[in-house]
Structure 1
């Protein structure tokens, strides 16, 4: 619990989480961070679907317009009315909106946990992401707009160039199969199929562009692109690599790198999600206190006074449905 307020915020200063959907564990992690700041803070949740499950786990629900229809002045008005000083977007499709408006919001005393726009655009464009990391000599999986259909001995992954889109992913395809699969995609890109162990690396990058803390974990069971079972495995070399990549990319806040380690123990960075992920709550439980650190930084606190200490007792998380009765 901090002992001072260095920002002059009107008390209480509340938090808005957007696209809450069914992200109940995320909301619970944010509530825990808020409790360290003030017991008077309220959690607001926004979504364009009024029937979302997570609305039952916030103090107040806002049926938001779709992000493409949300005028920035409407957002500012809502934040002022409800004394919201912190915003945490949770969906890829809204990151560019909040990033492009983050400076305007900051001038009004409203802080968003999101990276600068140019760096968001790099992460959301898989071809640009590949080119950017390659320039820095960082091992990133090769990514191309086209392939030669005669290379039948190689297997490919085909996916959309922009966004997540795990449901349209094609894996372990021959060149002919890959080219056919690509016909059903809007802007396909091709990558070589690499077998190995999949890792997620959670990182918090502070306001000065330095990695505050990092935790790596195996993706033991994956459903629809997200880890249903994930286990922490300390990998100093991998953690250093991804921390360096995050800093080179100019990111801010909580980010996640997806990496494959092949049979030769070589690293292949697949992508970076510049936001909090579905299974990142394990890393928070293990000491990567991203939400708390974001709130502290937004209030003018120096994070050097809040060291990252990993909880070695936390190791595995299994995501599962749970009844909520009230």
Structure 2
């Protein structure tokens, strides 16, 4: 049995369901498990085949607990979903491989670069992609976009258009970086979901125009076969160390068509379900590569163009809920 584990599942119900669908088409008896620090209150955990409670990724026992779960439950593939776990998991790829467990993750050096907003700009520079200029805190030009060097989900991001809006917090917090602000009305924003095979070759990319965002995650979007598709595909054709799903956020100037790289997330993006439903079957390719040992994934470009996704809140009801205090909870 080849089971899959999606970590820090949270609200990623669509991602869990996509892996359940694709896994059972290939391994009818296999299961998709999930972890979370509060799994009983996680919607994604509740729709998975079973879930386990783990400590926060910063806890000393996180890796040991995760490895124990994998060994005891015939888990052969781990899918990380949030930035804070990427560094520690990338440092432990070989440890898990010794126990015949694969982690869908890029190598440590790439992770270290891409979760750092300043180093990500260096990455864009090497690929000859423009990026928002970073200012020194003692020498800047308004308006500003301020964000943490290692931030995600738009937490602690600030748009500053007047000097009176700046506070001592912005200057004293060493994690906050000052960037030039790209005014949204002059740009179109895209996220590009990319799939890199085990040989670090790009096999698919789907640009999604971001129409509306909530808490840093897209709530309305549409797939676009944009003019820059071939250009981006050429630049990212082979990036040593990149594996699995990589999502890139770019701004395109509506008049000059200049592309600005904003950030790169070396994991599944929150809006990936749209790419999957458009036909970019990353879960299937992952299962083929990491569980079936398929050595060649063909390039795929036949995804549905102009497919719009409109997200809404739904409910998962748990009847007679009683808090459980056990360390691991599976079913």
TM-score by length of 2: 0.86
Decide whether aligned partners of structure 1 residues 36 and 158 sit closer, same or farther in structure 2, where only a CA change above 3 A counts: same
2:131 is paired with a residue whose SS is coil
CA distance, structure 2, for counterparts of residue 145 and residue 163 of structure 1: 19
Q: 2:117 aligns with which of 108, 126, 133?
A: 126
Structure 1 match to 2:309: 317
Bigger drift between 137-146 and 157-166 goes to: 137-146
1:1-326 correspondence to structure 2 within 5 Å = 12-50=1-39, 51-69=41-59, 70-149=61-140, 151=141, 154-164=142-152, 166-174=154-162, 177-178=165-166, 180=168, 182-183=170-171, 185-195=173-183, 196-238=187-229, 240-241=231-232, 244-245=235-236, 247-248=238-239, 250-263=241-254, 264-298=256-290, 299-304=292-297, 306-312=298-304, 315-324=307-316
User: Post-superposition shift, 1:302?
Assistant: 2.3
CA distance, structure 2, for counterparts of residue 243 and residue 214 of structure 1: 11
2:34 is paired with a residue whose SS is strand
- Aligned Cα root-mean-square deviation (Å): 2.3
User: Post-superposition shift, 1:53?
Assistant: 2.2
Q: Any gaps of 5 or more consecutive residues in structure 1?
A: 1-11
User: Post-superposition shift, 1:21?
Assistant: 1.1
User: Post-superposition shift, 1:116?
Assistant: 0.5
TM-score by length of 1: 0.88
CA distance, structure 1, for counterparts of residue 181 and residue 134 of structure 2: 11
CA distance, structure 1, for counterparts of residue 281 and residue 253 of structure 2: 30
User: Post-superposition shift, 1:292?
Assistant: 1.5
Bigger drift between 222-231 and 170-179 goes to: 170-179
Q: Any gaps of 5 or more consecutive residues in structure 2?
A: 319-331
CA distance, structure 2, for counterparts of residue 315 and residue 159 of structure 1: 31
CA contact (8 A) 1:168 1:185 kept: no
CA distance, structure 2, for counterparts of residue 137 and residue 162 of structure 1: 23
